[in-house]
Amino acid sequence: MNRQEIISLKTGEIKKEVQRELEGRLDIDDDEVLRLIDDKIRLKNRQVALLLSDKLCIRKDVFNAMRRLDVLQDLMDDPAVTEIMVNGMHSIFIEKGGALYDTGRKFDSKERLSDIIQQIVAGANRTVNAASPIVDARLKDGSRVNVVLEPVAVNGPILTIRRFPKVPIDGASLVALGSVSAEVLAFLKTLVKARYNILISGGTGAGKTTFLNVLSGYIPDSERIITIEDSAELMIQGISNLVSLEARNANVEGCNAITIRDLIKTALRMRPDRVIVGEVRGSESIDMLQAMNVGQDGSMSTIHANSAQDALSRLETMMMLHTEIPISALRRQMASGIDIIIHLSRLRDKSRRLMEIREVTGCEKDEITTNPIYVFEEKEEIKGRIYGELKRTNDMIYTEKLRRAGIKTDEI
């Protein structure tokens, strides 16, 4: 038996012994737990000589199992880990630096994984069980959590944790990462100040929420902002008159759910200057578009889509499923409400890039017309890294909001 196997064996033994002694004791604090673990380690050291590094490793692993998130705690403590994917008790993957890795870690049992899931969900004031096996929640540090239990999840309890940087990424960081150019960011800053309604599209992990955070940071502090999300993730800085609303799932009886749609309707009675919806994915798209059409200029939201043009098609489909409005009237509403679509993508080198900025110019012959303003053009690939630039393709057509904001059109 090699040293790693010995450490793993002793860790398991100590964990079981500590669990037995803590069973039924609710009043014990972390310091007492650590003292108990240290006592057990000293006893084991008499049987097998352990190095100081071995003792510290065992101490940390046992404590994490008792009072933290077990084998996930080290991953949660690593700021470079952006996503943790638990595919049942035997499989844990992470995303780091844009790439996926198998951690080789696993839980001792399915029951232990279930306990950790319940601990996470309860801490977010949510419930998940066989009757309601899917839940979205948010950790105290802002991380987004999704849980899917059996029987929906065939290979055991599934836990996905999307982590966000403790310090929000700003525009300068996006420029440094190559996600967007300083010129384009200045252009978007001007549009935000001029109160253009903006829809940010992209696939999963393309950086939509991050980009929405950055754009929100350009809103003048004199305005009142209402944010609406499934799970609160936005970290808007510099706005003192800010209200954050979060949807709520139904209770165990299937009642008392508060939807994004409910929150948008409520927000419009709260005297907002702008409404920011984290993501539209259903019937709330109707209310979001109504808000954009009845005075909440400068509102923003995100949507899952494969391109800027596809974002309009997806939004149209969502609305058609939940309204009897004729398609021609629907498209006119969309063309009137949405001013700018920003499309983000994750390229094959795992980098996140702004791919396109498209202006919605109107509706002709019942078809929404758009004007591409910036388009990303790939130039070359060197050692797996993609290089290119956002090229200006056209000037803006709809400049009325710029003039109302006192911005000269030749300045953009």
Q: Name the more confident of 33 and 111.
A: 111
Q: Report pLDDT for 62.
A: 82
One-letter amino acid of 269: R
SS3 42: helix
299 touches 278 (CB < 8 A): no
User: What number of residues does the chain have?
Assistant: 412
259 touches 247 (CB < 8 A): yes
**Confidence grade of residue 274 (pLDDT, cut at 50, 70, 90):** very high
Minimum mean pLDDT among 121-125, 258-262, 299-303, 327-331: which range? Answer: 121-125
DSSP state of 169: P
Residues linked to residue 388 through DSSP beta bridges, in sequence order: 378
DSSP state of 56: H
Q: Report pLDDT for 43.
A: 81
DSSP string spanning 103-122? -----S-HHHHHHHHHHHHH
**Confidence grade of residue 4 (pLDDT, cut at 50, 70, 90):** confident
340 touches 311 (CB < 8 A): no
Tell me: pLDDT of 167 over 80: no
Closest CA to 112 of 89, 138, 94: 89
192 touches 401 (CB < 8 A): no
Mean pLDDT across 292-299: 87
Q: Report pLDDT for 377.
A: 95
Closest CA to 61 of 10, 20, 110, 111: 10
237 touches 378 (CB < 8 A): no
Q: What angle do CA 328, 261, 213 make, to 5 degrees?
A: 95
Mean pLDDT across 286-301: 88
Mean pLDDT across 246-261: 76
CATH superfamily of 171-411: P-loop containing nucleotide triphosphate hydrolases (3.40.50.300)
Alpha carbons within 13 angstroms on the beta-carbon side of residue 73 total: 15
Architecture of domain 68-166: 2-Layer Sandwich (3.30)
| Residue 215: partners with Cβ closer than 8 Å, 6 or more residues away | 188, 189, 192, 198, 200, 300
Mean pLDDT across 156-183: 90
231 touches 248 (CB < 8 A): no
One-letter amino acid of 319: M
**Confidence grade of residue 411 (pLDDT, cut at 50, 70, 90):** low
Torsion (CA) 404, 407, 409, 412 in degrees, nearest 10: -130
Tell me: pLDDT of 339 over 80: yes
Q: Report pLDDT for 176.
A: 92
Structure-block tokens of residue 141: 């540090």
Q: Report pLDDT for 287.
A: 87
Q: Report pLDDT for 218.
A: 94
Structure-block tokens of residue 39: 């006592």
| pLDDT, averaged across the chain | 89
Q: Report pLDDT for 314.
A: 94
Q: Report pLDDT for 226.
A: 95
Tell me: pLDDT of 359 over 80: yes
Give the max Cα distance, the chain.
Answer: 85
| 48 φ/ψ angles, rounded to the nearest 5 degrees | -135, 125
Locate CATH 3.30.450.370 in the chain. 68-166
**Confidence grade of residue 30 (pLDDT, cut at 50, 70, 90):** confident
DSSP state of 409: G
Tell me: pLDDT of 252 over 90: no
CA 363, CA 359: separation in Å to the nearest integer? Answer: 12
How does pLDDT run across 201-236, given as a tens digit for each residue? 999 889 999 999 999 999 999 999 999 988 778 888
**Confidence grade of residue 378 (pLDDT, cut at 50, 70, 90):** very high
DSSP alpha helix (H) spans, 294-399: 308-320, 327-337
Tell me: pLDDT of 393 over 90: yes
CA 226, CA 184: separation in Å to the nearest integer? Answer: 26
Locate CATH 3.40.50.300 in the chain. 171-411
Q: Report pLDDT for 36.
A: 84
CA 364, CA 312: separation in Å to the nearest integer? Answer: 15
Share of the chain above pLDDT 90, in %: 52
113 touches 89 (CB < 8 A): yes
Tell me: pLDDT of 2 over 80: no
Tell me: pLDDT of 130 over 90: no
